[in-house]
């Protein structure tokens, strides 16, 4: 019987954006895909042996980690998205406030700008069109969650093994956030991708999938 693997997308990413990962990993695992927006609305995540996620999905997984989960894979993730007085590996909270206002005025332009930072210029996102159709209220809920959530106190208490993969040139979540996670988790492995940004699964698909398969084996 295959082990169960839950894959959660990040902010402004639909299930379509993680479908290639689901298709690839379904050969070895019983995969379930949910969007970050849907995961945020859940009180509890579905019971699974493993979770693969990143960005906002990483925060959700860390906060609501099912007891039966044996391993966690984090792509471009953080324990605290916004900067704090004692934590500088994040985004200024004023950026989030501006994004909330822009969602009301011109959501398409905001999403397009976001994906320009997520994806490298050489490989434009295929998800731009589909993500402009996402629920605006759901996007706002995600931004509020990113702004308010600080899970740093939870990190040292997590006992399961965690694989962290992060692009060194990530413009959304600085590499320092991944290094902080690696330093404060009990059982972690950090893989840094040189020259890569936030969308690791899009631009380093084979490498991230092979690392995931090896880690979960």
In the residue annotation, 170 being an active-site residue is answered as yes
Q: Which residue, among 11, 31, 13, 12, has the nearest Cα to 22 in the 3D structure?
A: 31
State the Cα–Cα distance between residues 73 and 57, nearest whole angstrom.
11
Residue 95's CB: how many other CB atoms inside 10 A? Answer: 14
141 in catalytic set = no
Active-site residue, selected from the candidate residues 76, 89, 119, 170: 170
Q: Is 55 a catalytic residue?
A: yes
Structure tokens at 101: 């206002």
Tokens read off for 69: 């989960």
Token duo for residue 80: 């605290």
Please tell me which residue in 55, 76, 120, 125 is annotated as part of the active site: 55
SS3 label, residue 61:
helix
Three-class SS of residue 163? strand
87, 80 Cβ separation under 8 angstroms: yes
CA distance linking residue 207 with residue 196, whole number of Å: 12
Q: Of 13, 119, 166, 198, which is the active-site residue? A: 198
Mind telling me the catalytic residues? 55, 170, 198
């Amino acid at each position: 019987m295959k082990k169960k693997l839950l894959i959660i997308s990040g902010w402004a990413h639909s299930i379509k954006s993680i479908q290639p990962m689901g298709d690839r990993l379904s050969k070895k695992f019983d995969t379930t895909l949910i969007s970050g927006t849907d995961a945020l609305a859940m009180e509890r995540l579905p019971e699974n042996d493993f979770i693969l996620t990143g960005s906002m999905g990483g925060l959700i997984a860390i906060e609501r980690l099912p007891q039966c989960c044996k391993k966690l894979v984090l792509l471009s993730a953080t324990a605290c998205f916004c900067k704090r007085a004692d934590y500088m590996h994040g985004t200024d909270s004023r950026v989030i406030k501006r994004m909330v206002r822009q969602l009301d005025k011109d959501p398409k332009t905001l999403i397009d700008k976001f994906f320009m930072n997520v994806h490298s210029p050489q490989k434009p996102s295929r998800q731009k069109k589909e993500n402009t159709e996402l629920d605006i209220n759901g996007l706002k809920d995600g931004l509020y969650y990113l702004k308010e959530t600080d899970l740093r106190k939870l990190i040292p208490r997590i006992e399961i093994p965690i694989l962290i993969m992060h692009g060194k040139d990530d413009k959304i979540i600085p590499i320092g956030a991944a290094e902080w996670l690696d330093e404060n988790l009990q059982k972690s492995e950090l893989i840094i991708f040189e020259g890569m940004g936030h969308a690791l699964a899009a631009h380093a698909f084979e490498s991230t999938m092979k690392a995931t398969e090896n880690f979960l084996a």
